[in-house]
Structure 1
């Protein structure tokens, strides 16, 4: 395991899992939100994002967490040797996004750009979750599997599987 892509719908525990994996392996964690957004939560230019992403995937070892653009997603799938797809039931994602908002009154969420609005991010996450069934489909996963022949793929579909994966990493 040298190049790990962690992806899935908002609020699924990608950041927490990725941080645990980074600590356990010593592989640098690269949350995509930190290259896609500047301080204050403003989106960087498409070119700046593409350049930063290209530098990341050219490295020998990485854990990249998030979706980013569809083009960068497929570049990561092709470059990674390990794929972790967090695909929990929608009600879990909605609850964890809401819980993250409530907790943000006390602590900044992990992997969020400094000074970005958690409320705006939460509203965007709820909107994205509402639209997600059109993107995160069985056809998409079939395409991921086709492109990932010979790679390790973890598809996490229950909270128990997620907790077991974290426990086995730690």
Structure 2
């Protein structure tokens, strides 16, 4: 495991897990949200986003842990990937985590990523494009997408690790320390 993509629904713990795994394996950490979002919730164009992702991959010849889904980057991310780790927690846990995280971010007002000034607000918390509604809308779609990929012979050369509970996640991180 040297080139890893951690995927899963919003609030599944991708960032926390990816940072810990990258540190344990002494690999670079690449956060797709940080590369995608510009100041004031502006989105990077695909061309610019793809360029940033490729640059980060190129800057990590020793290996990396990519944190995030962004299906449109799949061709770039998975060209050299050797492992996909899917954090597939039950809906009720993702929902609870997304609400808790959003509320914490509203009150803390800390920027969400290093490369932008974006913060959460009460207004955005209840908007149609809020992270909570996004999680609700994409949870089942993500599950179907990754189950399909898991069984697709096209990706048989990629190790696919499916973690379904907090216990699975903690045990995996513990084993990775060894």
TM-score range, shorter chain: 0.7 to 0.9
Shift of residue 82 of structure 1?
A: 1.0
User: Runs in 1 of length 4+ with deviation above 6 angstroms?
Assistant: none
User: Could you state the TM-score of these two structures normalised by the residue count of structure 1?
Assistant: 0.83
**Whole-angstrom CA distance in 2 between matches of 1:51 and 1:24:** 27
Say which one has the larger Rg: 2
Equivalent in 126, 135, 138 of residue 129 of structure 1: 135
**1:151 counterpart residue number:** 158
**2:68 counterpart residue number:** 66
Shift of residue 134 of structure 1?
A: 5.4
Unaligned runs of 5+ in 2: none
**1:118 counterpart residue number:** 120
Asked whether the equivalents of residues 4 and 81 of structure 1 are also in contact (C-alpha less than 8 Å), the reply is yes
Residue aligned with 1:118, SS = coil
Asked whether the equivalents of residues 85 and 160 of structure 2 are also in contact (C-alpha less than 8 Å), the reply is yes
RMSD: 2.6
The number of residue pairs the alignment matches comes to 169
Within-5 A mapping of 1:41-120 = 41-58=41-58, 59-60=60-61, 61-68=63-70, 70-104=71-105, 105-106=107-108, 108=110, 111=113, 113-119=115-121, 120=124
**Whole-angstrom CA distance in 1 between matches of 2:112 and 2:171:** 21
Q: Does 1:14 align with 2:20?
A: no
**Whole-angstrom CA distance in 2 between matches of 1:106 and 1:117:** 9
Residue aligned with 1:150, SS = coil
Residue aligned with 1:6, SS = strand
**Whole-angstrom CA distance in 2 between matches of 1:11 and 1:122:** 16
Unaligned runs of 5+ in 1: none
Q: Structure 1 residues 84, 114: closer, same or farther in 2, change over 3 A? A: same
User: Could you state the TM-score of these two structures normalised by the residue count of structure 2?
Assistant: 0.80
Q: Structure 1 residues 161, 6: closer, same or farther in 2, change over 3 A? A: same
Shift of residue 101 of structure 1?
A: 2.0
Shift of residue 87 of structure 1?
A: 0.9
State which drifts further: 148-157 or 82-91.
Answer: 148-157
